[in-house]
Structure 1
Amino acid sequence: MNFKADRQTQEDLNLPGKFKNNSIYSLFNKVNSTGGERLLEQLFVQPLKDAAAINQRSNVFRYFHHHPLDFPFDSDTLRQMEDYLRSNAAGKWQESVVLIRKKWMQQLGMGKDFQPILENLRLSIAVLNKLPDLLLSISHAPLFGRLQEVRNILQLPGIQELLQYPAGKELSFSKAILFNNLLRVRFRDHMDVLLRFIYELDLYSTVGRVAAAENLNYAEALPAEAGMISIEECRHPLLKGAVANSLHLTGSNNVLFLTGANMAGKSTFMKSFGIAVYLAHAGFPVAAKQMRFSVMEGLYSSINVPDNLQSGYSHFYAEVRRVKDIATDVSEGKNMVVIFDELFKGTNVKDAYDATLSVTRAFAGYPNCFYIISTHIIEVTEALASVPNISFHYFPTIMEGTVPRYTYRLQKGVTTDRHGMRIIHNEGIIGIIRNGKHFEEGLLQDNRLT
């Protein structure tokens, strides 16, 4: 099975989204071909759980990061070649008869099918003729047998005859029949291998190019037994000028309990961490200076849990169900990464305090998992202080007069910031209400609002 990241987690972290300009997928979707895009989607939605496989894929991306490839094909050409190879596939003699019939029909003025086939054949030959030089340019790429597989195909006698046909020379009808049979019948499966290889190069070179442009780096995957996640200068890959933060989690320090004011950076930090974990397991480059991690079995987040009117779930009950789903996997001994942003914010403060305390303590009893848990109920940190594997961090707020300033820098400890009412006053909310047309001063009993 692959690394698990359910739909809620993917939406929380804005991972998928072929047609969303601000998704993590769209960051890498700069490929040149539809085949490259199909391959990107396949690799992106299926993160891995094997350290060797992750590092192997990551090393390929790294190679093309540091050895940029000028991809020599355009999307239309490859699409036409793919359509040509996959249309009207038949046996050798049937294919020849069909081609001869189309030629006769065209000569009699009764059909126009032969000329497009001839053009697509020439186009396909031109694509194949670029492969030998392309192989030379990437001869040191860590493609683990793929290069040799392609070389072997290009050395086949029939393919050699095709490659040695003089460029620009008009194809005779007999040569067209011969080459058409070679590509669409005799070596049909080999053509699929070559197209797949071309699409792989499109993907690898594109991801490497994006990594170079966005200053991304490559994580090192470790066996599950290593039990650690270490990220230096992790940032959100879609935020220009984002402030980077570091964190180190181990089995004896596997719960990061986070506090801080609204807008101080908690949610962005947790999303940045979750995105890095997901991309690292997919072998893709991450927005961090350095990252080492033991492979995990999945990633859960609870950041933007919606209510469910159709099922009759309130926001709080939706949160409870979400926590239950996560607890089920954790209790089964699975190695999970879990992100909770403001646990139980859908209920009253007393219940939220009790629930946050109980759930955090319970999850902390599974040192094989890693957690980031945020809350605005800072009083709960006192009750959790005795749990040895919980570390407390916060994002500070600096008041400059009556205006808050946020550093977005993670610090050890627990926040003492209480600036909510100051922000409400800065926005003039109470004045707007009191200066309304039908406001009655005599009904206002609480003079603290003045």
Structure 2
Amino acid sequence: MSFITDKQTLEDLGLLGKFKQHSVFSIFNKVKTGGGERLLTEMFHQPLTDATAINERSSLFHYFQNANLSFPFDTADFNRVENYMSSVINGNGVTNLAAVARKKFAGAFLHDKQYEQLQQNLRATIAALVALRALVNKLDIPMTAQARQFLSGKKMQWLDTVNGQTLSILNTARYDSLLRNTLRKEMEWLLETIYQLDVYIAVSSVSRERGFYYATALPGSANVFGSTALRHPGLPNAVPNAIRLDSSTNLLFLTGANMAGKSTLMKSFGIALYMGHMGFPVAAANMRFSIRDGLYTSINVPDNLNMGYSHFYAEVLRVKKVAQEVSNRKNMVVIFDELFKGTNVKDAYDATLACTVAFSRYRNSAFIISTHIIEVGEALKPYNNIQFGYMPTVMKGNQPTYPYTLTSGITSDRQGMLIIENEKILEALYN
């Protein structure tokens, strides 16, 4: 079973995007190889839905973080290895010897570079195998056991005798045929092992540098998400907040002024849940979470002028899609930031209240719903499974400041006109 989400959610949370400077992917994309980046991309697109598999991957990242290893391959040299192994030799050792001899002749008399490039690529591949053997011999984990056994076996005893040496035509043809023909399958999974090591070393290094943590995944029946210090992974000085949702209080109704930190808190929650399902390090201390079927957000819902959708109608369709998933008894996490802000206050009040009550009935799912319409919170107080939190505003003179600390209750802050006055908008218009 795959983890349910969609493009809107991934964009809301800023999860993907190799070239997006502040994406979560870009935070962890410190890999050194093309294959490592491919594997990292696959992990980001395919969160896990089995608690055992998640915890095993998380433990492996933690192991590498404690090992504090450096990736032992130079990027330029390893590019040679990948290019070299991307082509296959046809024929036997004799025909390959003849082909190598022709390249040698062309290099000597026709200034052809093929033989020189073959030598460079072959030496780089041999050096990479020696470096890989040294690395896997330091690691006592199942992921590298096969590589460790193979590289220390009889088939590869020749490595030490030729590493760093200038190879004759005969040995060039011999080892070229061995690596790209006879041991083709072994070389392919050795490369995959290198890509895996690249990802685990890179991600664990990011975790160590940024002070991330490792979450514990629980079965879906536990129906819980909790962290004593949740923060946004992309903000170096983010204020951590404690948060907990479970079947007894499965909905957090969040209020607070603009700029107080509501959206950042909601994004932090969604990112932590998604990364937790990947088995990756999280910016959340003591995080424990139950496996979910999926995650939907509605934070930056765009209108669709091509289809004639207004912003409000786009919001309605978004809520409808989420409602269909939740009503099918899927075990979901749902984040709604400022429900129905595309319509008038009266309709927004009625719709926010009605939808919040309806969603909260599904105790197997978890919800965070934010709004500026604080009167909705008063109407929700009779529902004992709804918890109320707000991001406060602290006034210093006539200037609002924001501690970004989640506080229990419903805000009474109304600083909109004060901010307008501070910016002297009306003064500019009347003058």
Shorter-chain TM-score: which interval?
over 0.9
Letter in 2 for 1:160: Q
1:242 deviates by: 1.1
Partner of 1:392: helix, strand, or coil?
Answer: strand
Q: How far apart, CA to CA, are the structure 2 residues paired with 1:347 and 1:124?
A: 63
* Residues 118-145 of structure 1: per-residue CA shift (max 9 Å, x gap): 2211111111112232122223xxx4x2
1-side partners of 2:366 and 2:329: how far apart?
13
Give the alignment's TM-score, normalised by structure 2. 0.96
Unaligned runs of 5+ in 2: none
Is 1:72 paired with 2:72? yes
Distance 2:161 2:7 in 1: 52
Residue matched to 1:153: 150
Task: Quote the residue 1:360 is aligned against.
Answer: 356
The residue that corresponds to 1:295 in the other structure is 291
State the SS of the aligned residue for 1:165: helix
Counterpart in the other structure of 2:402: 406
Does 2:230 correspond to 1:234? yes
Q: Which residue of 2 is the match for residue 91 of structure 1? A: 91
Distance 1:89 1:171 in 2: 19
Partner of 1:137: 138
Cα distance in 1 between the residues matched to 2:220 and 2:92: 52
The aligned counterpart of 1:446 is: none
Q: Deviations over 1:244-280 (max 9, x none)?
A: 1111111111000011111111111101111111111
User: Normalized against structure 1, the TM-score is what?
Assistant: 0.92
Q: 1:41 Cα deviation (Å)?
A: 1.1
Q: Which residue of 2 aligns with 1:433?
A: 429
Point out 4+ residue stretches in structure 1 off by more than 4 angstroms. Answer: none
Larger mean CA deviation between 125-134 and 245-254 belongs to 125-134
More displaced, 93-102 or 306-315? 93-102
Q: Which residue of 1 aligns with 2:127?
A: 126
- The 5 Å alignment of 1:45-444 reads 45-93=45-93, 94-109=95-110, 111-139=112-140, 143=141, 145-161=142-158, 163-435=159-431
Shift of 1:88: 4.1
Q: What is the match of residue 27 of structure 1?
A: 27
**Amino acid across the alignment from 2:279:** G
Q: Distance in 1 between matches of 2:227 and 2:44?
A: 21
Q: Distance in 2 between matches of 1:91 and 1:49?
A: 45
Q: What do residues 199-240 of structure 1 show as CA deviations (whole Å, max 9, x unaligned)?
A: 211111111111111110011101111110011110111112
Offset at residue 66 of structure 1 (A): 1.5
Cα pair 1:86 1:184 within 8 Å, conserved = no
The aligned amino acid for 2:18 is: K
Deviation at 1:156, TM superposition (A): 4.4
Distance 2:163 2:373 in 1: 74
Q: Alignment partner of 1:432: what SS?
A: helix
Contact 1:399 1:405 in 2 (8 A): yes
Whole-Å separation in 2 of the counterparts to 1:8 and 1:310: 17
Distance 1:425 1:178, change over 3 A: same
Tell me if structure 2 keeps the 8 A contact 1:227–1:294: yes
Q: Secondary structure at the match of 2:281?
A: coil
**Following the alignment from structure 1 to structure 2, what is the Cα–Cα distance between the partners of residues 110 and 264?**
68
Question: Residue 100 of structure 2 contacts residue 169 of structure 2 at CA under 8 Å; is this kept in 1?
Answer: no
- Asked if 2 retains the 8 angstrom alpha-carbon contact of 1:234 and 1:273, the reply is yes
SS at structure 1 position matched to 2:134: helix
Distance, in Å, in 2 between the alignment partners of 1:252 and 1:36 is 42
Helix, strand or coil for the counterpart of 2:367?
strand
Are the structure 2 counterparts of residues 97 and 2 from structure 1 closer, same or farther at C-alpha, using a change threshold of 3 Å? farther
* Structure 2 match to 1:38: 38
Pairwise CA distance, 1:296: 0.6
Aligned residues: 430
1:107 CA drift (Å): 4.1
Alpha-carbon distance in structure 1 between the residues aligned to 2:196 and 2:111: 41
Deviations 1:51-89 (A, max 9, x none): 111111111111111211021101111111111112243
Q: Quote how far apart the aligned CAs of 1:110 are.
A: 6.7
**Identical aligned residues as a percent:** 51
Provide the rounded CA distance (Å) in 1 between the counterparts of 2:163 and 2:144.
24
Structure 1: state its 5+ residue gaps. 436-450
Name the stretch that deviates more: 149-158 or 79-88.
Answer: 149-158
Alpha-carbon separation, structure 2, partners of 1:429 and 1:106: 76
In the TM superposition, what is the alpha-carbon distance from 1:155 to its structure 2 partner? Answer: 3.9
Paired amino acid for 1:121? L
Q: CA deviation at 1:325?
A: 0.8
The residue identity in structure 1 corresponding to 2:164 is: G
- Preserved CA contact (<8 Å) 1:245 1:409: yes
The one-letter amino acid paired with 2:128 is V
1:120 and 1:369 mapped to 2: Cα distance? 54
* Contact 1:158–1:182 (CA under 8 A) maintained in structure 2: no
The secondary structure found in structure 2 opposite 1:340 is: strand
1:433 aligned partner, one-letter code: L
CA contact (8 A) 1:65 1:205 kept: yes
